[in-house]
């Protein structure tokens, strides 16, 4: 049998059915040209989320009640509720996607957090994505928005500087008595596991409600190796919508509800980030 080295792997746009061939026991089989091992990551023992819980939510998942410019909505704005949005940014060239997840955190810190809107687009440029984030943020009461502060995130944040409620991180210098403010959410090797474990715990405890099938499917496929960044194949696995959901869930700690005596002034920000 002659072997051939894979030269390159490129993603392609496809819409339609995908067939999964299976055989008994080790799920491997021989064709006229190849020996094939069909590995399904959703069956791995390294699943990060409880798949019984995820499957249960998948059975209850619903279609969005409306869709606008690619944003899918499962809820409408309630003036007395707290909202927050997380965003994962990319180059928007078809490989990974610009995504956002909006939450309704309820009226108290112990309320169930519900995903009320999601967005997934692997073609939109980072700057235009910033405009979409601001549009959805205004729809949910000028709520706090946390775009990930990575290389492409800078372009998104630059467009959003006119939006008053962007999450900001305050950093104190170690050697000098200086304090700097950085806009956007910074995911690091240290913070990423903490974020995901916190999200998983609260999801398992029934504190997070999700109706988006695409988000739930990403959760079902996500493994501990994806969390640690260990590559098991030549193909990079992307969990962009899940990343925006995990970032967005962190915003429940920073979004606050502002009470006015007898009225709420027009265009007055309802929510503010600590330190802004």
> Which pLDDT score is estimated for 10?
73
Of all residues in the chain, what percent carry a pLDDT higher than 70?
Answer: 70
For residues 182 and 170, give the distance between their C-alpha atoms in angstroms, rounded to a whole number. 6
The residue that leads in pLDDT, 221 or 236, is 221
pLDDT, tens only, 92-140: 676 678 999 999 999 887 899 999 999 999 888 888 999 999 999 999 9
> Which pLDDT score is estimated for 260?
34
Q: For residue 233, is pLDDT > 80?
A: no
Q: For residue 262, is pLDDT > 90?
A: no
For the chain, the structural domain boundaries read 44-253
Burial (CB < 10 A; 0-12, 13-18, 19+), residue 160, is buried
The answer as to CATH 3.10.180.10 being correct for domain 44-253 is no
78: phi then psi, degrees, rounded to nearest 5: -115, 115
Highest averaged pLDDT of the listed ranges 49-58, 143-152, 219-228, 255-264: 49-58
Cβ–Cβ under 8 Å, residues 250 and 86 = yes
Mean pLDDT, the chain, whole residue set: 80
For residues 226 and 228, give the distance between their C-alpha atoms in angstroms, rounded to a whole number. 6
Can you name the residues that pair with 29 across neighbouring β-strands? 36
First to last CA, the chain: 65
pTM above 0.75, yes or no: no
Give the mean pLDDT of 259-271. Answer: 39
Model confidence at 197, pLDDT cuts 50, 70, 90, reads very high
> Which pLDDT score is estimated for 243?
94
For residues 212 and 73, give the distance between their C-alpha atoms in angstroms, rounded to a whole number. 9
The residue that leads in pLDDT, 5 or 207, is 207
For residues 73 and 104, give the distance between their C-alpha atoms in angstroms, rounded to a whole number. 12
């Amino acid at each position: 049998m002659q072997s051939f080295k894979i030269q390159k792997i490129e993603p392609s746009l496809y819409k339609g059915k995908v067939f999964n061939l299976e055989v008994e026991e080790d799920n491997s089989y021989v064709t006229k040209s190849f020996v094939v091992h069909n590995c399904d990551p959703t069956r791995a023992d390294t699943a990060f989320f409880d798949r019984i819980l995820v499957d249960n939510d998948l059975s209850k998942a619903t279609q969005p009640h409306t869709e606008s410019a690619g944003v899918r909505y499962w809820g409408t704005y309630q003036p007395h509720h707290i909202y927050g949005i997380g965003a994962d940014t990319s180059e928007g060239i078809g490989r990974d996607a610009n995504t956002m997840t909006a939450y309704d955190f309820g009226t108290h810190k112990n309320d169930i957090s519900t995903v009320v809107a999601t967005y997934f687009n692997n073609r939109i440029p980072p700057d235009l994505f910033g405009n979409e984030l601001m549009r959805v943020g205004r729809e949910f009461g000028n709520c706090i928005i946390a775009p990930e502060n990575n290389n492409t995130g800078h372009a998104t944040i630059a467009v959003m500087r006119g939006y008053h409620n962007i999450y900001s991180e305050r950093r104190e210098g170690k050697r000098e008595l200086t304090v700097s403010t950085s806009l956007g959410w910074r995911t690091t090797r240290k913070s990423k596991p903490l974020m995901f474990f916190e999200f998983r715990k609260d999801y398992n405890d029934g504190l997070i409600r999700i109706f988006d099938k695409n988000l739930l499917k990403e959760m079902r496929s996500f493994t501990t190796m994806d969390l640690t960044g260990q590559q098991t194949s030549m193909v990079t696995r992307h969990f962009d919508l899940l990343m925006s959901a995990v970032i967005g869930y962190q915003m429940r700690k920073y979004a606050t509800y502002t009470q006015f005596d007898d009225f709420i002034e027009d265009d007055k920000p309802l929510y503010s980030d600590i330190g802004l």
